[in-house]
């Protein structure tokens, strides 16, 4: 029997979509050519952030999502949800001023913010370097272990009747006229009432299999992992420049310090952003930059050992917004991809919105800014 919904991608976005769709009573099949969370979901830090987004469509999506994650932690759970809050710091007085003014506009959009003058930073983060101009605390920022989150959401979806098929690659679409009525896969044809493209960084490839253009490109990032430590860092701590880097179009290497602890004791250090395609080679230059910035922020880390590093490819679109919604160029096809460096955080809202569309309910948010066809003309099939 054909599934109501076929989800391509067993990353966190596909998992959240499967969970919300299954919970609304749809029969769901998830396929992935790799394992569960084998794409970018297994390569991220797992932050659920409102702090790094200026007021606008993405912030609205993030606010919706952060509330939903809190519910998921109770409904599903088992993925190390930690509402620890984020602390953004600025090194210079002008940087601090800009940060405080961003915070005030964010707070107008519904984000909880607490301005922390230089003298009070140590109360929040005792190991932070004393030479900072000030910061802003965002109690709404949280963290999950992203692979566990995807695995637990899929397990919960399976408990509601969903099927998860890993090692199955989508190679084409089944069409009835214009309509998408299923997918061709390495394991045969899978007809479905609707198909959701949650293929992350590879979402553009899936779209082109359907003859439509959705420009998703990879943006490489490395993360350093330290030896297991006691709690040295309470919040996700990052420098104000991170906010600028996130929204940048510069292809060159950018790094800005992002430091945070995890439940397992390791500290994760990011963040680098480079457009180098899918080049997997280790870049010693990037690792050095990440280490230097982390030590500048937290001098106590200087003699702490790095034991691991990993890299991932963030799926980004030219306007740095994800693609969420039905594709008018291929009826029956929905997109849920291109979340760049925020796909863990935005997954809950994305899954919920897609489930609402599938159930023909009004979506909780205006989806116009995320329209798949916003980038340009249709590519001939």
Partner 1 sequence: MATSPYDVAVVGAGPAGLAAAAAALAGGARVALIDAGRQPGGQYWRHRPGDLGAVADLHHDLGAFRRLVAGAAGAVRHFGQHVWTVSGSAADGFTVHAVAGDAETEVPARRLVLAPGAYDRQVPFRGWDLPGVHTAGGAQALLKGHEVLVGRRVVVGGTGPFLLPVAAGLAARGARVAGVYEANRPAGWIRHAGAVLPVAAKLTEGAGYAAALARHRVPFHTRQAIVAAHGGDAVEAVTVARLDHDWRIVAGSERVVECDAVAVGWGFTPQLELPLALGCATRVDADGSLVVEVDERQTTSVPGVHVAGEACGVGGAALAVAEGSIAGVAAAGVTSAPASLRRRRRALRRFAAAMHAVHPVRAGWQSWLADDTLVCRCEEVSAGEVRTALDELGATDVRTAKLLSRAGMGWCQGRVCGYATACLTASCTGTAPDLRGVSERPIAAPISLGTLAGDPGHIGQQ
Partner 2 sequence: MSAAFEFDGREVAFTDGQTVGAALVAAGVRSWRTTRREGRPRGIFCGIGVCFDCLVTVDDVPNQRACLVPAAAGAIVRSQEGDGRGHLAV
Ligand X SMILES: Cc1cc2nc3c(=O)[nH]c(=O)nc-3n(C[C@H](O)[C@H](O)[C@H](O)COP(=O)(O)OP(=O)(O)OC[C@H]3O[C@@H](n4cnc5c(N)ncnc54)[C@H](O)[C@@H]3O)c2cc1C
Choose among ligand X, partner 2, partner 1, none what residue 170 binds, the Cβ cut-off being 5 to 8 Å by kind: ligand X
Contacts of ligand X in 256-285 (CB under 6 A): 270
Rounded to a whole number of angstroms, the minimum distance from the CB of residue 53 to partner 1 is 28
Pick one of 133, 199, 224, 355: the residue that binds ligand X (CB under 6 A): 199
Cα–Cα dist 16/156, whole Å:
10
Told to check if 342 binds ligand X by CB under 6 A, we report yes
Rounded to a whole number of angstroms, the minimum distance from the CB of residue 284 to ligand X is 17
Three-state DSSP at 351 gives helix
Distance, C-alpha 326 to centroid of its chain: 20
Name the β-bridge partners of 335. 197, 325
CA distances from residue 86 to 52, 116, 243 in whole angstroms, order as listed: 9, 12, 13
Closer CB to partner 1, 100 or 304, in the complex? 304
Binding segment toward partner 2, per CB under 8 A, in 59-67, 108-116, 139-147, 299-307: 299-307
**CA torsion, ordered 192, 368, 336, 189, to nearest 10 deg:** 20
Closer CB to partner 1, 21 or 301, in the complex? 301
Cα–Cα dist 258/125, whole Å:
14
Told to check if 372 binds ligand X by CB under 6 A, we report no
Choose among partner 2, ligand X, partner 1, none what residue 74 binds, the Cβ cut-off being 5 to 8 Å by kind: none
Closer CB to partner 2, 244 or 304, in the complex? 304
Cα–Cα dist 242/223, whole Å:
15
Query: Which residues make Cβ contacts (< 8 Å) with residue 365, sequence separation at least 6?
Result: 60, 61, 64, 349, 353
Closer CB to partner 1, 187 or 307, in the complex? 307
Closer CB to ligand X, 134 or 261, in the complex? 261
Rounded to a whole number of angstroms, the minimum distance from the CB of residue 291 to partner 1 is 4
């Amino acid at each position: 029997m054909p599934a109501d919904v076929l989800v391509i991608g067993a990353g966190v976005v596909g998992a959240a979509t499967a969970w919300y769709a299954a919970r609304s009573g749809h029969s769901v099949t998830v396929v992935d050519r790799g394992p569960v969370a084998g794409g970018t979901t297994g390569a991220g830090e797992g932050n659920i952030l409102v702090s790094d987004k200026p007021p606008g469509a993405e912030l609205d999506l993030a606010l919706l999502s952060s509330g939903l994650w809190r519910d998921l932690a109770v409904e599903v759970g088992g993925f190390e949800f930690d509402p620890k809050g984020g602390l953004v710091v600025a090194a210079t007085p002008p940087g601090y001023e800009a940060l405080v003014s961003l915070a005030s506009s964010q707070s107008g959009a519904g984000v909880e913010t607490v301005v922390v003058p230089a003298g009070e930073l140590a109360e929040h983060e005792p190991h932070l370097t004393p030479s900072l101009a000030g910061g802003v605390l965002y109690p709404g920022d949280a963290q999950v272990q992203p692979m566990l989150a995807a695995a637990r959401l899929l397990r919960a979806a399976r408990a509601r009747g969903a099927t998860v098929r890993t090692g199955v690659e989508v190679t084409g679409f089944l069409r009835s006229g214009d309509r998408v009525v299923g997918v061709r896969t390495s394991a045969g044809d899978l007809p479905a009432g609707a198909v959701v493209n949650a293929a992350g960084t590879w979402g553009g490839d899936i779209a082109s299999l359907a003859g439509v253009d959705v420009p998703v490109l990879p943006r490489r990032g490395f993360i350093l992992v330290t030896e297991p430590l006691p709690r040295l860092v309470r919040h996700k701590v990052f420098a104000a420049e991170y906010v600028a880097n996130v929204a940048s179009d510069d292809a060159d290497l950018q790094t800005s310090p992002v430091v945070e602890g995890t439940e397992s004791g390791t500290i994760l250090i990011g963040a680098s952003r480079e457009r180098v395609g899918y080049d997997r080679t280790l870049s010693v230059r990037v690792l050095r930059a990440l280490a230097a910035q982390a030590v500048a922020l937290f001098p106590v880390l200087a003699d702490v050992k790095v034991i691991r590093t990993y890299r991932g490819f963030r799926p980004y679109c030219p306007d740095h917004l994800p693609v969420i919604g039905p594709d008018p160029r291929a009826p029956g096809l929905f997109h849920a991809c291109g979340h760049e460096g925020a796909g863990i955080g935005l997954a809950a809202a994305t899954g919920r919105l897609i489930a609402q569309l599938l159930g023909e309910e009004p979506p909780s948010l205006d989806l116009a800014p995320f329209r798949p066809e916003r980038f340009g003309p249709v590519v001939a099939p």
